[in-house]
Amino acid sequence: PNTSSYGHPEDGDLTSSPSRKFSIDRRRNDLSASPSSSLTLRQEMTSKSLARFRRESSKFVTPVQPPSQDRWVPDSATSVCMVCMLERFSMFNRRHHCRRCGRVVCAACSTKQTMILGVLARTCDECYE
């Protein structure tokens, strides 16, 4: 761009104007997606990346002995599944407790059952493995 000796765009240089630069930058982005849907997509991708990082960085170790019910993680301690870190609990998405480790988990992450103290009981997928 042509600039004066003071570093400002000279008259007639449209590519250096802030509005022209903005329109050029906007053309580089995908205009088919609205700004709000783009933000939502970025938030979802960030959330999934964070959940994957949490899962991989903190490998769960099954306790030697199953905790008694009074030692389970309280329902109020988490609003998301402690295995996948994605499922948010609600009126329609119930919380379950793994009888092997006592964590609060979603139904999708607690599909298995194992014998615990002689009783077949719900077990999270990580404890089952």
> Three-class SS string for the chain?
CCECCCCCECCCCHHHCHHHHHHHHHHHCCCCCCHHHHHHHHHHHHHHHHHHHHHHHCCCCCCCCCCCHHHCCCHHHCCECCCCCCCECCCCCCCEECCCCCCEECHHHCCEEEEECCEEEEECHHHHC
pLDDT tens-digit map of 114-123: 999 999 999 9
pLDDT tens-digit map of 80-111: 999 999 999 999 999 999 999 999 999 999 99
Contacts with 3 (C-beta within 8 Å, 6 or more apart), sequence order: 9, 10, 13, 16
Q: Is the pTM of this model over 0.75?
A: no
